[in-house]
Amino acid sequence: MAFLPVTKEEMIERGWERPDFVYVCGDAYVDHPSFGAAIICRVLESHGYKVCFIAQPDWKSHHDFMRFGEPRLGFLVSAGNIDSMVNHYTVAKKRRTKDYYTPGGEMGKRPDRATIVYCNKIREVYKKTPIIIGGVEASLRRLSHYDYWDNKVRRSILLDSGADLLLYGMGEHQIVEVAEALDSGIPVNEITFIRGTVFKTKDISRVYDYIELPDYEEIIKDKDLYAKSFLTQYENTDAITAKPLVERYKEYTVVQNPPSMPLKTNELDKVYALNYERNYHPMYEQMGGVPAIEEVKFSLISNRGCFGNCNFCALAFHQGRVVTARSHNSLAAEAEKITWDPDFKGYIHDVGGPTANFRGPACKKQETKGACKGKQCLWPTKCENLEVSHKDYVKLLRRLREIPKVKKVFIRSGIRYDYLIYDKDETFFNELCKYHISGQLKVAPEHVSPKVLAKMGKPTRDVYDRFVKKYYEINRRLGMEQYLVPYLMSSHPGSDLDAAIELAEYLRDIGHMPQQVQDFYPTPGTLSTAMYYTEKDPRTMEKVYVPKTPHEKAMQRALMQYKMPQNYDLVLEALKKAGRTDLIGFDKHCLIRPRQIGGSHSNNQKYGKTQKQDSFKQGKKQEKNYAPKKKTIRNVHKKKS
Q: Which fold has domain 8-256?
A: Rossmann fold (3.40.50)
CA 194/CA 259 separation, integer angstroms: 9
How high is the pLDDT of residue 610?
A: 45
How high is the pLDDT of residue 626?
A: 67
Virtual CA dihedral for 168, 173, 176, 178, nearest 10 degrees?
-50
List, for the chain, all residue ranges whose pLDDT scores fall below the cut of 50.
Answer: 605-615, 629-641
How high is the pLDDT of residue 599?
A: 54
Residue of 77, 62, 72, 76 lying closest to 17 (CA atoms): 72
Please report, as a single letter, which amino acid is at residue 29: Y
The bridge status of strand 30-31 relative to strand 279-280 is antiparallel
Which residues of the chain form CATH 3.40.50.2300? 8-256
CA 57/CA 428 separation, integer angstroms: 46
Q: Which fold has domain 289-612?
A: pyruvate-formate lyase- activating enzyme (3.80.30)
Contact of 370 with 363, CB cutoff 8 Å? no
How high is the pLDDT of residue 546?
A: 97
How high is the pLDDT of residue 595?
A: 84
CA 206/CA 190 separation, integer angstroms: 10
Contact of 509 with 575, CB cutoff 8 Å? no
Contact of 204 with 246, CB cutoff 8 Å? yes
Residue of 511, 474, 513, 515 lying closest to 622 (CA atoms): 511
Which residues of the chain form CATH 3.80.30.20? 289-612
How high is the pLDDT of residue 622?
A: 66
- 163-187 residue pLDDT tens: 999 999 999 999 999 999 999 999 9
Please report, as a single letter, which amino acid is at residue 639: K
Tally of helices (H runs) and strands (E runs) in the chain: 26, 22
How high is the pLDDT of residue 607?
A: 47
CA 303/CA 173 separation, integer angstroms: 17
- 498-550 residue pLDDT tens: 999 999 999 999 999 888 889 999 999 999 999 999 999 999 999 999 999 99
Please report, as a single letter, which amino acid is at residue 413: S
SS3 245: strand
How high is the pLDDT of residue 486?
A: 92
Burial class (CB in 10 A: 0-12, 13-18, 19+), 208: exposed
Q: Give me the helix-helix angle, 391-401 and 427-435, nearest 10°.
A: 30
Looking at the chain, the whole-number percentage of residues with pLDDT higher than 70 is 93
- 196-227 residue pLDDT tens: 999 999 999 989 999 999 999 999 999 999 99
